[in-house]
A = this chain, B = another copy of it.
Amino acid sequence: MRVKKTPSKTVSIHDVARASGVSITTVSRVINKLPSVKEANRRKVQEVIKEMKYQPSVLAQRLATGKSNVVALVIPRYEGIFYSFYALELIRGIGTLCELLKLDLLLRLSDSRITPNLKGIGGIIFADIIGNRHHIEEAVALNIPCIVINNYAKDLNISCIAVDNLRGAEEAVDYLVSLGHKKIAHITGDLVTQGAALRFTGYQRSLKKNNIPFVENYVFRTDYSRGQARAAAEDLLKMRNPATAVFVASDSMALEVMAVAREMGKKIPRDLSIVGFDDNPSGLYGPVALTTVRQPLIKMAQAGLKELSLLMSGKKNNIEKILLPTELVVRESCQHPVLK
């Protein structure tokens, strides 16, 4: 006989069975709501369960069935991710929906170098793909339902749902052009992310479409952090032939640009028009409300989770690739360029 390992005596299915005078099989049937149980027995068992405060061991259930209701949310950790508004929105959207769907949410702030143990995980949401492509492939190989959000993974045989960064950016720059701007700068996000890369492409596409020459000096590459945004803004404003407008890849960086401009005695939008990206509520509380591109993060996150839960329950198995539209939100940070 072995010694008890569990720190404290915990009620098991055996205890319930004994107390109800039935076999553990019957108890299991009651737990799983199988129809084939005499009503009297069912009631009795349910009573005992309530009385003993019995909770089935999800561990044992998962081990026995090979099914798991654990959803892993994998967020690649890179500089600035956590100041990105984006991360919290994802967690918020997915976290609340998980509670509703009775799924266990496992949060992985992944380093993408270590290979995570996937056993016991029912499904995975990959938030973007940053050097962790191999993790996705592994999961797929293991037949674990997966979905990618915030990255339109064209070449991956997997469902994904993303925001139309390309058109969002293009529209933002189109808007600046429509105001009369010809010298339009761009502060990129971290170009390892698809979002930042597509916003950059959208910027270029708009310029080309509008016959505005692309000027490399007007492009400032950052890692999405406020620090680099600050440096970029300083460089931008110090140029001999400065741009009259700037499209910034995130609102938090755009706010930093505003702050720098102010510190340097510039007026927004008179001296510089600014468009951000995100529709971060913080953009509302500066002296000049930020014009920005709204992206439906919560919607994307929740749609992704729903899709995944369908995959997990086997109610669906075709892959699907969804692109969500963005929306330009015009506020106060842009105007016609002023000739000097």
Interface of A toward B, CB cutoff 8 Å: 5-8, 10, 55-60, 62-68, 77, 82-83, 87-88, 91-92, 95-96, 98-99, 104-111, 117-120, 142-144, 226, 255-256, 258-259, 262, 281-282, 284-287
Q: How many copies does the complex hold?
A: 2
Q: Is the CB of A95 within 8 A of B119?
A: no
A259 nearest CB neighbor, chain B only:
B285
A55-B119, A88-B87, A120-B58 are known contacts. Are A282 and B282 too (CB-CB below 8 A)? yes
The answer on a CB contact under 8 Å between B99 and A111 is yes
Q: Are B287 and A58 in contact (CB under 8 A)?
A: no
A88 to chain B: closest CB distance in Å? 5
Establish whether residues A281 and B226, one from each chain, have CB atoms under 8 Å apart when the complex forms: yes
CB neighbours (8 Å) of A62 from chain B are: 59
Tell me the complex Cα distance, A283–B45, Å.
57
CA distance A66 to B259 in the complex (A): 54
Supposing A55-B117, A55-B119, A119-B59 touch, asked if A65 and B5 sit within 8 A by C-beta, the answer is yes
Chain B nearest Cβ from A46, distance in angstroms: 16
> Across the interface, which residues of B come within 8 angstroms of A262, CB to CB?
287
Q: Which chain B residues border A109 with CB–CB below 8 Å?
A: 92, 95-96, 98-99
Q: In the bound complex, do residue B106 and residue A142 qualify as a contact, i.e. CB atoms below 8 Å apart?
A: no
Q: How far is the CA of A98 from the CA of B111 in the complex (A)?
A: 12
Give 17 A-B contacts (CB < 8 Å), ordered by A residue: A5-B66, A8-B142, A55-B117, A57-B63, A57-B119, A58-B120, A63-B63, A77-B96, A95-B109, A98-B107, A98-B109, A107-B107, A255-B282, A256-B285, A258-B285, A259-B285, A282-B285
Pick from B10, B87, B286: contact of A285, CB under 8 Å: B286
* Closest Cβ–Cβ distance, residue A173 to chain B (whole Å): 24
Question: Which B residues lie within 8 Å of A77 (CB)?
Answer: 96, 99
Question: How many Å lie between the Cα of A185 and that of B9 in the bound state?
Answer: 53
Complex interface: chain B residues within 8 A of A286 (CB): 285-287
Q: Which of B6, B142, B143 contacts A66 (CB 8 A)?
A: B6
Complex interface: chain B residues within 8 A of A59 (CB): 59, 62-63, 68, 119-120
Chain B residues whose C-beta falls within 8 Å of the C-beta of A282 in the assembled complex:
255, 282, 285
Residues of B within 8 A of A104 (CB): 106
11 additional A-B residue pairs with CB within 8 Å, beyond A104-B106, A106-B107? A56-B117, A57-B63, A59-B68, A60-B63, A83-B281, A99-B108, A99-B110, A226-B281, A255-B282, A259-B285, A286-B287
* Given A7-B143, A57-B63, A107-B105: A92 touches B82 (CB 8 Å cut-off): yes
- Chain B residues with Cβ below 8 Å from A64 are 5
Q: Which residues of B contact A108 (CB under 8 A)?
A: 99, 105
Give A291 Cβ to nearest chain B Cβ, in Å. 16
A129 to B66, CA, bound (A): 35
Q: Complex formed: what's the CA distance from A285 to B284 in Å?
A: 11
